[in-house]
């Protein structure tokens, strides 16, 4: 059984950087893409970034493009989200998710395409 465990969340100041990690346990035969989502209190869960587990294809939401970078280290079964120039509006619970599909820019935000989710890690950005 594949499980995802996020780590790296913290309380930081605006302008700071932070790196989140998502470690995959189990044998991820059925995973073709991974993504980071976030959910702020009272708001819907939204996609932040995604990548194919093989190759270099990545996708980003407009709100984080040029500030966040998603990457993966297959040898460590870990997906990262490097976040720079954090803003108070980035405050949210961040979730890692896995999908058997290979999304496009138009579809990577479809929550229903992701069938494995982590428990989340909290990021709080103070102004």
Given a contact cutoff of 8 angstroms between Cβ atoms, the answer to whether 106 and 27 are in contact is: no
Phi-psi region of 89 (alpha: psi -120 to 50; beta: other; left: phi over 0): alpha
Model pLDDT, residue 101: 95
Phi first, then psi: give them for residue 17, nearest 5 degrees.
-115, 155
DSSP characters for 2-69?
A: -EEEEE---EEETT--EEEEEEEES--TT--EEEEEEE-TTS--EEEEEEESSSS-EEE-TTTTTTEE
Phi first, then psi: give them for residue 74, nearest 5 degrees.
-65, -30
Which residue in 11, 122, 93, 105 sits closest to 49, CA to CA? Answer: 105
Q: How many CB atoms lie within 10 A of CB 40?
A: 14
Model pLDDT, residue 2: 87
In order along its 127 residues, the chain shows pLDDT tens digits of 889 999 999 999 999 999 999 999 987 778 999 999 999 999 999 999 999 999 899 999 999 999 999 999 989 999 999 999 999 999 999 999 999 999 999 999 999 999 999 999 999 999 9
Q: Which two tokens stand for residue 122?
A: 């909290």
Model pLDDT, residue 26: 84
Model pLDDT, residue 27: 74
**Strand 11-13 relative to strand 18-25: parallel, antiparallel, unpaired?**
unpaired
């Amino acid at each position: 059984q594949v499980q995802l465990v996020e780590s790296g969340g913290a309380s930081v100041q605006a302008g700071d950087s932070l790196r989140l990690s998502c470690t995959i346990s189990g044998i991820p035969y059925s995973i073709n893409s991974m993504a980071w989502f976030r959910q702020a209190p009272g708001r819907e869960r939204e996609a932040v970034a995604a990548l194919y587990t093989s190759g270099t294809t990545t996708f980003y939401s407009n709100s984080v493009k040029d500030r966040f970078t998603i990457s993966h280290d297959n040898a460590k079964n870990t997906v990262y989200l490097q976040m720079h120039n954090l803003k108070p509006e980035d405050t949210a619970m961040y979730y890692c998710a896995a999908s058997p599909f290979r999304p496009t820019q138009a579809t990577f935000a479809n929550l229903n395409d992701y069938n494995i989710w982590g428990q989340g890690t909290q990021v709080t950005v103070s102004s």
